[in-house]
Amino acid sequence: MATISESEPISIGVLFSETGITSVVEQTQRDAVSLAVSEINARRGAGNFELQPIFLDPASDPKRYEAEAENLISQGVRIIFGCYMSSARRAVLPVVERAGALLFYPTLYEGFEFSANCVYSGAAPNQNSLMLADYMSENFGKRHYFVGSNYVFPYESNRIMRDLLAARGCTVLEERYIPLNPKDDDIDQIIDELNKLEPDVIFSTGVGEGAIKLYQRYAQKGRTREKSPIMSLTTGEPEIAEMGVDAAEGHYTCAPYFSSLPRAVNQSFVTAYRSAFGAHAPISACTEAAYFQVHLFAEALKLGGPDAILQNLPLVEFDAPQGKVRVDRTTQHTFLTPRIGRVNPSGAFDIVYDHGSAVRPDPYKVEPEASGWSRFVGGA
């Protein structure tokens, strides 16, 4: 194990949007990184290294993400925490790879990707889609409707979910996409079709403003959870705070983390986060992943310094708000605990399913049957 001596502060780049269509979520990720850095520096939690964040606003625009990543690299930064949408990650990764730098990506995504220059701390499909497919098919009807935002993550997530549901005897009636920042007319066309088809369940992969407007128009047009609940991988507390409880109540999300988790570690995290950013500041799974990945990085940094992060990351474990997390050496994805929550009248999630243990990530599986993922579902 390397001995760490006094060093200059380590600059880390932070690329989360403060403006634009996905800023409602990304601002919470930015704040989570800020909180983690403050905790680590206050406790000397990275050995003798001090973390010095450089915050930039990519404005929810993949081209801006690419440009700001180049900006950070030109300043000598070799560690970047950031990106929400897959289009942003795909814009940043070539920049990071050319520089031999490292991106920590804290957002659920569609899987089927590996980069030696990326650590994935959001959920892979076997940590959310698989569980949600089981829950939908076992607790609701067999007629499903897909609606998502018009970019890569919804396309790929819907492909995976379609296969999972087909293996469970379900039918997808239609698969529709709306602009990232849709107009009311875009949503109304979806609602009109739902009124004609009357599916049992709606699977939504809308993000940011698209998700917010979809849920709001869904409620305004008189559709309710009793008619057909919306099931999502992406809708969390930040979106609920924006859309209002009336639009969100009774709908479901599958994620590794909800701020309502009763764990003492989570309660301490929620208290610290809201003390820093407001008594009612929303916290989602994306927020929590942005937080714990900085702590994982700091733990690895203590073992061998900045040049041995990837070597040492699989050796460390962090007791995150959701439970213990660690990085899988083979895939550079993270062990996470799947859960499903239902929005209650206060806008928080009541947990209706808890896997109970961390699931090994498997971003590359293509089998639609649960048995194809079975060795990755039981933990380590």
Least-confidence region, from 21-30, 317-326, 365-374: 365-374
pLDDT of res. 7: 61
pLDDT of res. 109: 94
Q: What is the mean pLDDT of the chain?
A: 92
pTM score, two decimals? 0.92
User: 126-260+338-376: same fold as 10-122+262-325?
Assistant: yes
pLDDT of res. 380: 41
pLDDT of res. 48: 75
Which residue, among 11, 213, 30, has the nearest Cα to 106 in the 3D structure?
30
**Digit-coded pLDDT (tens) for 299-325:** 999 998 888 999 999 999 999 999 999
pLDDT of res. 4: 38
Of the candidate CATH numbers 1.20.120.430, 3.40.50.2300, 3.90.79.10, 3.40.50.170, the domain formed by 126-260+338-376 belongs to 3.40.50.2300
- Inform me whether the pLDDT recorded for 287 exceeds 70: yes
**Percent of the chain scored above 90 by pLDDT?**
86
pLDDT of res. 45: 61
- Inform me whether the pLDDT recorded for 226 exceeds 50: yes
**Digit-coded pLDDT (tens) for 118-137:** 999 999 999 999 999 999 99
Can you say how many angstroms the Cα of residue 103 is from the centroid of all Cα atoms in its chain?
A: 15
Q: How confident is the model at residue 237 (pLDDT cuts 50, 70, 90)?
A: very high
pLDDT of res. 140: 93
Q: What is the CATH number of domain 10-122+262-325?
A: 3.40.50.2300
Do the beta carbons of residue 303 and residue 333 sit within 8 Å?
no
pLDDT: is 377 or 265 the higher one?
Answer: 265
- Inform me whether the pLDDT recorded for 375 exceeds 50: no
- Inform me whether the pLDDT recorded for 373 exceeds 80: no
Residue 316 to residue 357: CA distance in whole angstroms: 17
Give the residue extent of every domain in the chain.
10-122+262-325, 126-260+338-376
